[in-house]
């Protein structure tokens, strides 16, 4: 493990490791859910936690310059006094670093309306394996000195092309007001119907979330219960923007949720009440760790028209193997997060979860979806890339790391299993 | 199924999915054709350009458009492609869902590479709902007043609800700020109140004309930081005549010379290119100087090209 004190040490370290000819991986806060920062082939882990400087805020031109180890919520706290907003909001915000966010092109609950990390990266500085320090883009967010827009390849590259040192991030004005809505539905069909209507609603929700009935029951059977009817699907939606515009859209959103068969629609613009509406959704992740020795959070995106049948598939595959599953979705995006609960000390359970994951990834491909919406591929899903992309697609993709990291010294065995160092 | 058949089966075929609001169409489809098809499902492609011009022609000239204030550049509105490599092989790049972190982001990289690695045959477009109404205003005023209006807008929570915020510079004393937002019927008045307040606070006059949703493609496009774009737009028109449309939220200048196709002096273009590049921006479009890659970039490009040639 190496913990450089600043960017110059980080750069010197990369140059040294190149010469030492050992594999290495950069780690932000280690919150990846796909194995991205794991030293899969041994070697050195570079921890960027000390590169935490927010170097510049430019409210007039709506950008920030930050070091790669800045924590996401640290940035948000710095932006609040200026009325500025950086929308990507993965649930690990209190600890995750921007280096990890950019490396995985992280999303979050509000990216249905606002987009993912890649939509906010104006520029990135990185040290390449040959020791050169390059800046792709910058405050203008264009190509800079380059003919092609290489930053597009680096964002979401999971630490396989270079080592980020700092970023130029696009900011937007903070929403003036937020309304949160919560409703429960008897069936996945009703929940699917309301999601379909909300995505095209003129209020353009920032977030549309779904918790399946198993997740709701899990929360309601715990000390974190919020009083939702068990065996119901819960839909959360959030709209935000200028008060004068948003307030007039509230009733229409509530009516849309009622019209699809909601038991009850609760909504509020009051911060404390909004926290209450989110409570079940926010509690679910922590509960999984409490009630099960181990769990895996999967990540895939499907065309929303296949939502109900894909949930059914997940239930069938899990039930017949005796694995408990509870699913949440960034439903506006069609981004599924089934959580599989198991005990890794029981080899048959571990094998069962791996089988379900494999079956799910096959199904996702069959319905036109993709392997990852916001967690990245890491080593968790690398084995599925060949089937998903096909031989030509794989070879086209693999040409990219061969340019910048031909021996796979940087983060080997990630994204593609063929990426083995040495 | 043979390997070739499997590869072919992976390619995108024409479709429109009204639930995910995505459609696949030929790169040669015109904006008019795309929007006509999408409108039947209550949808639209939000970037505005020349209706009778193909998507690929737009992408060859601009990377942002009116509409990018809210919806971002073209690369944010194209999710996947069938891409013809220079070898003639057609491969699928990207996805048909609206969010993906599966592998390297090749489609965003390839979209504006001027044919160096091949060309798009089909696009998977991200569509947006048709609101049913349009709120729009044109603000007139002197330069300080319009500058203040831009500054106020860029700090406003309304910003993300406005499809376009375009500063149109057509010469001395002929500058205006065009704003429009696709919205729900009945919301025009709410937007109208905001436009009037903005005009009042910045010292502008507000008019509400019927702005046509069409834009001529520029001869030159510049990408820079937000405040610099407004300065550059004014300087271009002052020094070389013609007109400029500044996409205020994107830091983009679309420049239209007085005589279509007339080149700018080479030294002026070089100075503009350096100025934009220093801020991490660039020049783009028919009048932009040919970009010469550094030795390192030429090497990277050659390696990619060589690898992809074998597919």
Per the structure block, which two tokens stand in for A359? 């079956």
> Which residues 395-414 of chain A have a CB within 8 Å of chain B?
395-397, 399-404
What gap in Å lies between CA A202 and CA B130, rounded to an integer?
8
3-state secondary structure of B216: coil
Determine whether the interchain pair B7/A392 forms a contact, defined as Cβ–Cβ distance below 8 Å.
Answer: yes
Instruction: Report, as an integer, the average pLDDT of A214-241.
Output: 95
Query: B84: distance to nearest CA of chain A, Å?
Result: 12
Would an 8 Å CB–CB cutoff place A226 in contact with chain B?
Answer: no
Contact between B129 and A200 (Cβ < 8 Å): yes
pLDDT band at B212 (very low <50, low <70, confident <90, very high): low
d(CA A275, CA A285): 16
pLDDT in the model for residue B19: 96
Q: If we measure between CA atoms, which residue out of A372, A387, A255 comes closest to residue A302?
A: A372
Q: Distances from the Cα of B306 to the Cαs of A131, B281, B311, in angstroms?
A: 24, 28, 9
Range list of H helices, chain B? 3-10, 31-39, 55-61, 68-71, 106-110, 143-154, 188-202, 226-240, 266-278, 295-309
Search chain B and give the residue with CA nearest A142: B281
Asked if pLDDT for residue A289 goes beyond 90, the answer is no
| CA B267/CA B246 separation, integer angstroms | 22
Q: Does B295 touch chain A (CB under 8 A)?
A: no
Q: Which residues pair with A210 in a beta bridge?
A: A235, A329
pLDDT for the residue B13: 96
Distance from CA of B166 to the nearest CA of A (A): 16
Three-state SS at B222: strand
Beta carbon pairs, A and B, within 8 Å: 251
pLDDT by residue (tens digit) across A371-402?
999 999 999 999 999 999 999 999 999 999 99
Query: What's the mean pLDDT in A290-310?
Result: 95
Q: Given this model, what pLDDT does residue B207 score? A: 83
Distance (Å, rounded) from C-alpha A151 to C-alpha B109? Answer: 8
Q: Determine the average pLDDT of the residues in B135-156.
A: 96
- pLDDT exceeds 80 at position B209: no
- pLDDT of residue B175 exceeding 70, the answer is yes
Are A417 and A389 within 8 A, CB to CB?
no
The tokens describing A396, both together, are: 């086209």
- A92: which strand partners? none
Average pLDDT of the residues in B59-87 = 97
- Nearest residue of A to residue B186, measured between CA atoms: A248
b/e for A230-258, b at 16 or more Cβ within 10 A? eebbbbbbbbbbbebbbeebbeebbebbe
For B76, the 3-state DSSP assignment is: helix
Q: Residue B159 has what DSSP assignment?
A: G
**Edge-to-edge strand ranges of the sheet holding A133-137:** A54-58, A63-67, A163-170, A121-127, A133-137
Judge: A305–B96 Cβ closer than 8 Å, yes or no. no
The per-residue pLDDT for B261 is: 82
Residue the block writes with tokens 């760790």: A289
**A208 pLDDT higher than 70:** yes
The whole-number average pLDDT for the span B83-100 is 96
Q: Give contacts of B160 with chain A, Cβ < 8 Å.
A: 114, 172-173, 175, 241
Q: Coil, strand, or helix at residue B81?
A: strand
Residue pair B287/B220 in contact by the 8 Å Cβ criterion: yes
What span, in angstroms and rounded, lies between the C-alpha atoms of B301 and A219? 52
pLDDT of residue B210: 63
What average pLDDT does the structure give for chain A? 96
Positive or negative CA dihedral for A206, A124, A69, B104?
A: positive
- Sign of the four-CA dihedral A7, A8, A11, A17: negative
| Residue for token pair 């009083």 | A227
* Lowest mean pLDDT segment, chosen from A289-293, A409-413, B298-302: A289-293
Looking at residue A326, what is its pLDDT?
96
pLDDT of residue B8: 85
Q: Taking residues A352-373, what's their average pLDDT?
A: 97
CB hemisphere CA count around A138 (13 angstroms): 17
User: What is the distance in angstroms between the Cα of B265 and the nearest Cα belonging to chain A?
Assistant: 21
CB within 8 Å: B193 and A370: no
By DSSP bridging, strand B22-26 and strand B119-126 are antiparallel
Residue by residue, DSSP assigns B295-310 as: HHHHHHHHHHHHHHHT
């Amino acid at each position: 493990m190496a913990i450089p004190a600043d960017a110059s040490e980080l750069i010197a370290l990369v140059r040294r490791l190149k010469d030492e000819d050992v594999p290495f991986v950069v780690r932000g806060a280690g919150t990846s859910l796909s194995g991205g920062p794991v030293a899969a082939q041994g070697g050195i882990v570079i921890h960027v936690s000390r590169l935490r400087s927010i170097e510049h805020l430019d409210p007039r031109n709506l950008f920030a310059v930050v070091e790669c180890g800045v924590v996401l919520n640290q940035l948000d706290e710095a932006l609040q006094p200026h009325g500025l907003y950086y929308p990507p909001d993965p649930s690990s915000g209190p600890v995750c670093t921007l280096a990890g966010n950019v490396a995985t092109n992280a999303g979050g609950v509000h990216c249905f309306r606002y987009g993912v990390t890649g939509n906010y990266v104006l520029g990135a500085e990185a040290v390449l394996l040959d020791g050169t320090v390059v800046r792709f883009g910058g405050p203008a967010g264009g190509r800079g000195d380059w003919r092609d827009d290489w930053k597009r390849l680096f964002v979401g590259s999971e630490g396989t092309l270079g080592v980020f040192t700092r970023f130029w991030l696009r900011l937007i004005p903070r929403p003036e007001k937020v309304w949160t809505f919560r409703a429960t539905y008897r069936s996945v069909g009703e929940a699917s119907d309301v999601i379909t209507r909300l995505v095209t609603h003129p209020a353009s929700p920032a977030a549309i979330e779904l918790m399946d009935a198993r997740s709701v029951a899990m929360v309601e059977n715990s000390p974190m219960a919020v009083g939702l009817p068990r065996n119901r699907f819960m839909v959360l939606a959030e709209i935000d923007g200028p008060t004068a515009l948003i307030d007039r859209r509230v009733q229409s959103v509530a009516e849309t949720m009622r019209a699809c068969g909601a038991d009850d629609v609760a909504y509020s613009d009051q911060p404390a009440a909004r926290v209450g509406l989110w409570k079940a959704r926010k509690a679910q992740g922590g509960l999984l760790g409490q009630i099960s020795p181990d769990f895996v959070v999967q990540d895939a995106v499907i065309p929303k028209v296949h939502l109900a049948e894909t949930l059914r598939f997940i239930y069938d595959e899990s039930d017949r193997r005796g694995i408990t599953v509870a699913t949440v979705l960034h439903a506006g995006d069609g981004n599924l997060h089934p959580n599989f609960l198991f005990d890794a000390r029981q080899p048959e359970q571990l094998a069962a979860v791996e089988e379900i994951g494999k079956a799910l990834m096959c199904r996702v491909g069959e319905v036109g979806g993709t392997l990852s919406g916001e967690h990245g591929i890491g080593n968790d899903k690398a084995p599925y890339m060949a089937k998903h992309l096909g031989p030509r697609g794989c070879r086209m993709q693999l040409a990219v790391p061969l340019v910048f990291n031909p021996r796979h010294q940087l983060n080997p065995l990630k994204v593609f299993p063929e990426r083995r160092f040495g | 199924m043979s390997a070739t058949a499997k590869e072919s089966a992976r390619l995108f075929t024409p479709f429109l999915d009204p639930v995910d609001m995505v459609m696949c169409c030929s790169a040669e489809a015109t904006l008019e054709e795309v929007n006509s098809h999408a409108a039947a499902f209550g949808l639209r492609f939000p970037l505005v350009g020349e209706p009778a011009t193909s998507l690929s022609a737009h992408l060859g000239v601009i990377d942002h458009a009116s509409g990018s204030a809210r919806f971002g550049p073209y690369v944010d509105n194209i999710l996947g492609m069938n891409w013809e490599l220079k070898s003639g092989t057609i491969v699928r790049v990207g996805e048909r869902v609206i969010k993906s972190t599966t592998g390297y982001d090749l489609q965003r990289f390839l979209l504006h590479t001027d044919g160096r690695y091949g060309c798009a045959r089909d696009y998977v477009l991200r569509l947006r709902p048709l609101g049913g109404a349009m709120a729009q205003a044109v603000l007139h005023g002197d330069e300080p007043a319009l500058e203040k209006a831009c500054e106020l807008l860029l700090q406003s929570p309304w910003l993300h609800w406005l499809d376009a915020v375009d500063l149109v510079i057509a010469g001395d004393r002929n500058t205006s700020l065009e704003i429009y937002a696709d919205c729900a019927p009945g919301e025009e008045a709410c937007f109208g109140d905001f436009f009037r307040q903005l005009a009042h606070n910045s010292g502008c006059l507000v008019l509400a004309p019927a702005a046509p949703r069409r834009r001529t493609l520029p001869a030159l496009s510049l990408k820079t930081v937000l405040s610099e774009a407004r300065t550059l737009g004014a300087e271009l028109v002052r020094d070389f005549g013609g007109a400029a449309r500044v996409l205020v939220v994107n830091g983009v200048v679309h420049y239209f010379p007085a005589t279509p196709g007339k080149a700018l002096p080479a030294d002026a273009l070089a100075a503009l290119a350096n100025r934009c590049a220093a801020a991490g921006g660039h020049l783009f479009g028919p009048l932009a100087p040919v970009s010469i890659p550094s030795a390192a970039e030429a090497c990277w490009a050659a390696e990619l090209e060589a690898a992809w040639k074998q597919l």
